[in-house]
């Protein structure tokens, strides 16, 4: 599908969200697996994605870790090895968001559902990993967080409390509360523009962010390869590869910031 600009009614919008906002308006950007797909990382919910090959109940819940920690740790060791691959690099969409943070006067907050580090490597610094970070390990006993991409195993000992067998990936599993929700909702209540990039629109609470932003008066736009399940909640949408639609949109914001 080529990049296309549409309103939520299916016709070209009379006024773009870029025209509706002022350069002093804060921007909140939600990103999902779709922004990292062109960097070579597998998505989760595509027909050929990660959840098509693994049962969530077996590898991504606290119960799975308690029942079979080796299985869970091996699953994340594979994900860590993939992220360490020299071929996996930030793409133009990541770089564009890093650039946006540098020139937008109102400030930019990126809230990502992704557990990879491609936003950081793409230049974003004002960033929330609401689902955690694959490059970190956390102790289930005391909460200590350790950085590093080495393999995880059941014999690991926490460097702080010295408990054994309690080290797990620092990621949010199904049934657990996403991170920094108070900060996210505060940003949504004060932003002038909410942008959703590469998300499926069926994972809550993130799928409800657009309604939260709209209820507080923000303009909203979806940038995606195709319509998400929540597409009708956005006032504008642009569809195509992230490296095209995100970079094009950021270019428009750059022009707006200079006005």
Whole-angstrom Cα distance, residue 253 to residue 258?
9
Q: Find, among 201, 257, 253, 256, the residue nearest to 224 by Cα.
A: 201
Q: Annotated catalytic sites, by residue?
A: 131
Give the dihedral sign, CA 65/137/207/93.
negative
Give the dihedral sign, CA 57/60/66/72.
positive
Phi-psi label, residue 122: left if phi above 0, alpha if psi -120 to 50, beta otherwise? alpha
Relative to beta strand 127-129, strand 108-112 is parallel
**Residue 172 burial (CB count, 10 A):** 17
**Residue 256, SS3?**
helix
């Amino acid at each position: 599908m080529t990049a296309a600009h549409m309103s939520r009614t299916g016709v070209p919008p009379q006024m773009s969200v870029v025209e509706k906002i002022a350069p002093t308006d804060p921007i909140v950007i939600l990103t999902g697996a779709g922004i990292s797909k062109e960097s070579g990382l597998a998505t989760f919910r595509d027909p050929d994605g990660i959840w098509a090959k693994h049962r969530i109940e077996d590898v991504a819940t606290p119960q799975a870790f308690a029942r079979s920690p080796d299985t869970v740790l091996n699953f994340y060791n594979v994900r860590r090895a993939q992220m360490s691959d020299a071929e996996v690099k930030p793409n133009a969409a990541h770089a564009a968001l890093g650039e946006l943070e540098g020139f937008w006067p109102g400030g930019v907050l990126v809230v990502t559902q992704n557990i990879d580090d491609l936003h950081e490597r793409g230049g974003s610094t004002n960033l929330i990993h609401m689902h955690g970070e694959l490059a970190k390990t956390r102790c289930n006993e005391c909460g200590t967080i350790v950085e590093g991409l080495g393999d995880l195993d059941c014999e690991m000992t926490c460097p702080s409390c010295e408990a054994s067998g309690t080290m797990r990936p620092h990621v949010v599993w199904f049934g657990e509360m996403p991170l920094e929700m108070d900060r996210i909702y505060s940003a949504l209540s004060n932003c002038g523009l909410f942008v959703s990039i590469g998300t499926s629109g069926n994972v809550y609470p993130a799928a409800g962010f657009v309604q939260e932003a709209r209820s507080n008066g923000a303009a909203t736009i979806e940038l995606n390869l195709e319509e998400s399940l929540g597409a009708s909640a956005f006032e504008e949408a642009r569809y195509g590869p992230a490296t095209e639609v995100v970079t094009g949109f950021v270019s428009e914001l750059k022009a707006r910031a200079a006005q």
